[in-house]
Amino acid sequence: MKLKGKYVLNYLLNRKPETLTVEVKLKMVDGLLKPGQNVWEGFATVDDKPYIDDNLKFCVDAKLYAEIIGNKLKNDLRKEHGRKLRVKQEKTV
């Protein structure tokens, strides 16, 4: 279980370098827990803006979920821009 995860995607869009950064942090839930409720809750940011996803409540590994969100956003960029998008480097920290 990782408490912090980061995904960085460097790509070219119309020959201009761009960067997509996804950060996920797990924080412990305050208050009383219901039976079967997860103790940890995930919070994600994409390029320093909050990212909302329903599945972050159930996140138990921040590194894995940062990669999942990053791949989802990369696929959305590919659908939107097509051949104009070239991936230079992607890494998960």
Task: Answer whether residue 31 shows pLDDT above 90.
Answer: no
Q: Quick one: pLDDT at residue 35? A: 84
% of the chain beyond a pLDDT of 90: 78
pTM given for the model: 0.89
Strand partners, 59: none
DSSP letters for 30-90: PSPPPTT--SEEEEEEETTEEE--GGGGG---HHHHHHHHHHHHHHHHHHHHGGGEEEEEE
Q: Quick one: pLDDT at residue 85? A: 93
On whether the CB atoms of residues 69 and 44 are closer than 8 A, the answer is yes
Judged on CB neighbours under 10 Å (0-12, 13-18, 19+), 52 is: exposed
Tens of pLDDT, residues 7-30: 999 999 999 999 999 999 999 988
Task: Answer whether residue 38 shows pLDDT above 90.
Answer: no
